[in-house]
Amino acid sequence: MAGVDEAGRGPLAGPVAAAAVILDPRNLPRGLNDSKLLTREAREILFEDIMARALAVGVAFASAAEIDSINIRQATFEAMRRALFALSIPPRYVLIDGNDPPPRLSCPGEAIVKGDGAIASIAAASIIAKVTRDRLMARLCARFPVYGFSQHAGYGTPAHLAAIAQHGPSPYHRLSFSPFKAR
């Protein structure tokens, strides 16, 4: 069974990330929880522990351009399907954090509201997706330092909005999101 979750639906910049994780029930990492409830340090430690103990991990993205083209919901579903496809072990069943599972999954599955706080494999996927996306945003910050992506991961903070007002969008901004959509 694989747990699936995403990170980065709300930011103004960067991709949406999804992770799929198949845990070994005899070798579970301790301290799994919804990534939003953990400190950055705890997420980093758990990321390494999950990667060392999991039977399989798949991570995938849908780019800002894809988000602009097909919308954030469909892009999230696409990233989830890609993450499942990236698993080295095909799952027989999938548990997805959220209200509804993506269409066209390769196996049966179900959505679990607030699953990232209740199901170990979904919590693990939440952590993997969040840490992977945060690391990517830090790399993008090195290429586009004026936006401060490593501080806010692309979310619409006052500093980020001020940088957008001064410099305009980067190639990684979601032009279908406000404040760009209004232009």
What total number of domains does the chain contain?
1
Q: How far is CA 139 from CA 57, 76, 111, 134, 150, in A?
A: 22, 21, 32, 9, 8
30 occurs within a structural domain: yes
H helices present in 14-157, as ranges: 40-53, 64-70, 72-85, 120-143, 149-152
Q: Convert the pLDDT of each residue in 92-113 to its tens digit.
A: 999 999 999 999 998 999 999 9
177 occurs within a structural domain: no
176 occurs within a structural domain: no
Q: Convert the pLDDT of each residue in 46-81 to its tens digit.
A: 999 999 999 999 999 999 999 999 999 999 999 999
CB-CB contact of 42 with 4 (8 Å): no
Cα separation, 100 vs 76, in Å, equals: 12
180 occurs within a structural domain: no
Query: Stretch 135-162: mean pLDDT, rounded?
Result: 97
179 occurs within a structural domain: no
Q: What is the CATH number of the domain that holds 90?
A: 3.30.420.10
173 occurs within a structural domain: no
Q: How far is CA 150 from CA 130, 134, 142, in A?
A: 13, 7, 8
Cα separation, 91 vs 21, in Å, equals: 9
Q: Convert the pLDDT of each residue in 13-26 to its tens digit.
A: 999 999 999 999 99
Q: Which residue has the tokens 């699936």?
A: 4
Q: Per-residue pLDDT for 182 more than 80?
A: no
Domain with 134 in it: 2-167
